[in-house]
Amino acid sequence: MDRLTDIIDATEETADGVTEVSKVTEDQATSIEQVAAVVDELSETTASLASDSTMIYEASQYQHEVIDDIQAELTNAAELVDETDE
């Protein structure tokens, strides 16, 4: 009878251990889901920043082109003024 009692006690302890492991596993799964959500948000933010950076770069390139055009026009105007003065 003592052997049967020992087996029952060991089985109950094992069941308690399995329940505890199950709780820890659920907590880990929740943590993993939270980390995955943060990673998704970071991915979206990174993609948005990359898009913004591209737009800023393209706008900067356009500004340089406009500045180059203005400088060319000013150079032409200065040459015309020089020719008129002569």
| Interval 71-81: pLDDT, tens | 999 999 999 98
What is the residue whose two structure tokens read 């069941």?
A: 15
Q: How far apart are CA 44 and CA 39, in angstroms?
A: 9
Q: Give the three-class secondary structure for 1.
A: coil
**Mean predicted confidence (pLDDT) in 39-51:** 97
pLDDT of residue 18: 95
Structure tokens at 81: 């003024």
> Is 0.85 topped by the overall pTM?
no
**Mean predicted confidence (pLDDT) in 64-73:** 97
Q: How far apart are CA 68 and CA 55, in angstroms?
A: 20
